[in-house]
């Protein structure tokens, strides 16, 4: 009964979220005011087919990660989020689990940055949210699933990226990420999902090498700048600032350029071209 009610509840709450509130282009031909199924699926980082099965009660065991992603995409209040966990048969995450919750206050902050590239990661460096300007700048993240959503995995396996690093810069960046994940693992020893993530990452020789090399601390990040090679705008050097939401253990990275510079012009071009390509 609860699994069927879970799907019905998701469908009902999907209908009440406007595209504008979710940061989704509304388009001209829309019969409903709420989100389309494929739009919610993209926001939550799951397949539209899986969301269909959830809503129809044919998928009966959504993971806690899927529940949290749906709660975030639906912009649920705390009481509604707790109800969604209950309907899925899960306890609401406690302090011993890496949080990926975006609170309403943080959501309001992100809404004010809706025209600035912003990406949010949890303490395991798993992608929580990337806004449309970030996708326009860095490439579409909506199709990423599983390990693809983890920045440590993407870096140690050298997955394609628009960020420009020299070989040494890349190695140092990987070392910093792995050291940060090791610290997270020590802070959340009871998190089974985090344990599975580390086990999966250990299949990478590069990760295993860094993970077991505790005697060598990572090199501090010498710069807050990042260079992006955008296919339409070319090389763009941006200020890259990461803000920590201490209580929720989130990392919010914001990309900006100094006004009036060539990099600001290139960033503006990248956002226009990238947004158009994603909405076409």
DSSP string, 217-237: PPPPP--SEEEEEETTTEEEE
For the chain, how many helices (H) and strands (E)? Answer: 13, 5
pLDDT in tens, 177-220: 999 999 999 999 988 889 999 999 999 999 999 999 877 666 67
Tokens standing for 175?
A: 């070392």
How far apart, in Å, are the Cα atoms of 46 and each of 7, 27, 37, 73, 185? 14, 22, 11, 11, 25
Query: What is the pTM for the complete model shown?
Result: 0.79
What pLDDT was estimated at residue 4?
Answer: 80
2-87 classified as CATH 3.40.640.10: no
What pLDDT was estimated at residue 209?
Answer: 95
Contact criterion met (CB below 8 Å) for 44 and 52: no
- Give SS3 for 95: coil
Torsion of CA 171, 172, 177, 182, to 10 degrees: 100
Please give the average per-residue pLDDT across 74-97, as a whole number.
87
Please state which CATH number belongs to domain 104-279: 3.30.450.180
What pLDDT was estimated at residue 44?
Answer: 86
Domain spans of the chain, in order of start:
2-87, 104-279
- Residue 129 reports pLDDT greater than 80: yes
């Amino acid at each position: 009964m609860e699994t069927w009610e879970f799907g019905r509840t998701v469908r009902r709450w999907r209908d009440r979220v406007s595209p504008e509130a979710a940061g989704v282009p509304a388009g001209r031909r829309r019969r409903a005011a709420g989100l389309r199924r494929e739009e919610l699926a993209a926001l939550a980082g799951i397949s539209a087919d899986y969301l269909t099965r959830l809503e129809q009660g044919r998928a009966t065991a959504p993971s806690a990660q899927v529940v949290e992603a749906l709660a975030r995409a639906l912009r649920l209040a705390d009481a509604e989020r707790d109800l969604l966990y209950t309907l899925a048969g899960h306890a609401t995450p406690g302090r011993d689990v890496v949080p990926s919750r975006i609170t309403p206050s943080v959501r309001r902050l992100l809404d004010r940055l809706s025209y600035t590239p912003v990406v949010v990661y949890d303490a395991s460096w798993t992608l929580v949210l990337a806004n449309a300007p970030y996708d326009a700048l860095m490439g579409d993240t909506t199709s990423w699933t599983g390990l693809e959503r983890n920045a440590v995995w993407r870096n140690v396996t050298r997955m394609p990226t628009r960020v420009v690093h020299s070989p040494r810069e890349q190695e140092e960046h990987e070392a910093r990420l792995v050291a940060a994940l090791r610290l997270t693992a020590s802070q959340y020893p009871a998190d089974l999902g985090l344990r599975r993530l580390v086990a999966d990452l250990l299949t990478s020789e590069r990760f295993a090498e860094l993970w077991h090399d505790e005697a060598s601390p990572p090199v501090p990040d010498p710069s807050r700048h990042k260079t992006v090679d955008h296919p339409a705008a070319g090389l763009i050097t941006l200020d890259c600032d990461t803000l920590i939401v201490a209580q929720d253990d989130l990392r919010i990275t914001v990309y900006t350029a100094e006004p009036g510079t060539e990099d600001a012009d290139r960033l503006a071009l990248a956002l226009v071209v990238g947004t158009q390509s994603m909405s076409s």
